[in-house]
């Protein structure tokens, strides 16, 4: 359907404006609030549509100052007071100026009593006013800007998703979040370890939990306890990127009791003890832990040996496992004292190896009798360094189950890299595919490496050696240019 404009030219009918208000609100909920507000200038009908959108998603950077930011939110919440339209409140509060300047701006707010000039009070009121919100996402750049989050968040019966970053959480005697399914807690300050445990266990249908603590804060998490009968995904990141060895036991620990867990990501360079109960048979795990171990020595005491052995025994039922280079350093030290527990259900293994630990690969594969897929990343290789893959026999998985090997680190032609490729081709009886890519370098070096790899003998007659297509295309293109075919 078309209509004529005032100039007589035919213009397209504004079909979207014929949609009912609730559909227009749903459309606007998928764009930033800043963009939704701009639609108010389209026509008289659009002037107030954005006020009924179920999402309020704002960033302080979208406003010239905190006064404008606070004024906008307070007026929006006042307009929607008593309504049930607001389902998501997301506030990204990254204050670029000291708190005293923010407080001085608030003195200009006409709609707030002058005794309420504290940003902490305003933010608390905003959260309290969003009483029927389903998704609450709060991020602070400075955690001290709000003394404590309002206690009302602990008893919000509509809350489905709670994401808090850099906030302070006070203890509460009563916590009940009956509908909460997603909870992400990043760099927060908690009353104590016991309250964090209580907060997690008071969510009877929780499925997705993330607990992150990076750097130094006013609160140090000593023991993280996660007890949940409904939890399916758990991400724990406790200073996972800043390993500092201490010769004293930190006393820090992680205790997980979640029988329905299907995904676990554990990055922790602080804890010396881990307890994981009832991990499911189909679970996928990503592990980057150090047990606060000293890697400059070949000796580990019996207590630490027991802790490491127990930890990997608790993971023995997983089907998909990723281990970091640091964790494999722990395993390499452990293997000098004890054999690794068996992983009879493991079918996919992704590992990051330092050159000094790669020699233990056959010993590790001995513990994975039914492995089908192996992904390797290699670090710290020296071109002329020898690789000794120590093993008295060929691992069972190479003889009967391993079908796919992928080396994701570009091959540079280092001796250990060629020996590694040869080890799999020479010993894998049922291997179907060995995938790798070449490091970009000079054309003649690339072609020599490629030819050397393709000449290696294969134990499996059906094995296909696959070199990354883009890398191979570029290598062939360079070869043709070199020989003046292009």
pLDDT beneath 70, residues of the chain: 1-17, 21-22, 28-36, 38-52, 80-85, 95-119, 131, 141-147, 215-219, 240-250, 295-296, 298-299, 381-388, 390-392, 440-446, 469-486
- Please return the burial class of 352, using the count of CB atoms within 10 Å of its CB with bins 0-12, 13-18 and 19+: buried
* pLDDT recorded at residue 247: 47
* pLDDT recorded at residue 1: 38
**Spatial contact of 220 and 188, defined as CB atoms under 8 Å apart:** no
Other beta carbons within 10 angstroms of residue 161's beta carbon come to 17
* pLDDT recorded at residue 240: 46
Nearest residue to 287 via CA among 217, 347, 236: 236
Distances (CA, A) of 99 to 30, 120, 443, 476: 32, 10, 59, 61
H or E segment at 482?
Answer: helix 469-482
pLDDT tens digits along 324-353: 999 999 999 898 889 999 999 999 999 999
**Spatial contact of 366 and 389, defined as CB atoms under 8 Å apart:** no
**Spatial contact of 187 and 215, defined as CB atoms under 8 Å apart:** yes
Alpha-carbon torsion, ordered 343, 392, 360, 352, to 10 deg: -60
pLDDT tens digits along 232-263: 999 999 874 444 444 455 678 999 999 999 99
pTM of structure:
0.82
DSSP state of 38: H
DSSP secondary structure, 289-348, as one string: E-TT--TT-S---HHHHHHHHHHHHHTTT-SEEEE-HHHHHHHHHHHTTSPPPP-TT--E
Return the percent helix, strand and coil in the chain, to nearest 5: 35, 25, 45
Which residues is 376 bridged to in the sheet? 351, 407
Nearest residue to 25 via CA among 87, 69, 82, 70: 87
Beta strands in 176-238 (DSSP E): 182-186, 189-190, 208-213, 223-227, 233-238
């Amino acid at each position: 359907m078309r209509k004529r404009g005032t100039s007589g030219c035919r213009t397209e009918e504004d079909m979207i404006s014929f949609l009912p208000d609730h559909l227009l609100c749903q459309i606007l909920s998928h764009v930033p609030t800043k963009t939704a507000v701009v639609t108010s200038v389209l026509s008289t009908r659009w002037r107030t549509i954005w006020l009924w959108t179920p999402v309020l998603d704002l960033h302080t950077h979208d406003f010239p100052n905190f006064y404008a930011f606070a004024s906008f939110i307070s007026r929006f919440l006042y307009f929607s007071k008593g309504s049930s339209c607001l389902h998501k409140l997301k506030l990204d509060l990254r204050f670029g100026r000291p708190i005293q300047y923010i407080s001085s701006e608030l003195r200009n707010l006409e709609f707030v009593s002058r005794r309420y000039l504290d940003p902490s009070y305003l933010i608390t009121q905003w959260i309290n006013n969003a009483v029927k919100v389903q998704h609450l996402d709060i991020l602070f750049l400075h955690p001290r800007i709000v003394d404590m989050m309002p206690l009302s968040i602990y008893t919000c019966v509509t809350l489905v998703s709670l994401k808090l970053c850099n906030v302070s959480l006070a203890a509460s005697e009563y916590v009940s979040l009956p509908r909460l399914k997603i909870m992400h807690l990043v760099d927060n300050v908690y009353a104590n370890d016991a309250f964090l445990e209580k907060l997690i266990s008071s969510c009877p249908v929780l499925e997705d939990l993330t607990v992150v603590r990076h750097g130094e804060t006013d609160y140090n998490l000593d023991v993280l306890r996660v007890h949940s009968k409904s939890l399916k995904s758990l991400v724990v990141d406790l200073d996972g990127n800043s390993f500092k060895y201490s010769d004293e036991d930190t006393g820090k620990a992680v205790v997980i009791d979640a029988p329905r867990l299907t995904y676990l990501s554990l990055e922790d360079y602080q804890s010396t003890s881990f307890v994981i109960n009832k991990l499911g048979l189909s679970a996928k795990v990503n592990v980057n832990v150090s047990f606060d171990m000293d890697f400059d020595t070949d000796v580990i005491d019996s207590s630490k040996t027991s802790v490491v052995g127990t930890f990997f025994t608790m993971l023995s039922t997983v089907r998909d496992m990723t281990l970091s280079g640091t964790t494999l350093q722990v395993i390499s030290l452990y293997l000098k004292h004890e054999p690794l527990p068996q992983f009879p259900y493991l079918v996919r293994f992704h590992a990051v190896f330092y050159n000094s630990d790669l020699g233990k690969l056959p010993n590790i594969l001995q513990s994975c009798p039914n492995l089908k897929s192996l992904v390797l990343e290699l670090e710290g290789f020296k071109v002329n360094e020898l690789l000794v893959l120590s093993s008295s026999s060929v691992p069972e998985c190479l003889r009967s189950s391993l079908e796919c090997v992928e080396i994701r680190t570009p091959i540079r032609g280092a001796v250990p890299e060629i020996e590694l490729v040869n080890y799999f081709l020479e010993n894998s009886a049922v291997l179907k595919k060995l995938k790798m890519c070449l490091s970009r370098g000079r054309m003649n070096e690339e072609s020599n490496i490629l030819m050397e790899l393709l000449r290696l003998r294969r134990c499996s007659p059906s094995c296909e050696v696959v070199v990354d297509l883009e890398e191979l295309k570029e290598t062939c293109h360079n070869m043709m240019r070199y020989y003046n075919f292009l």
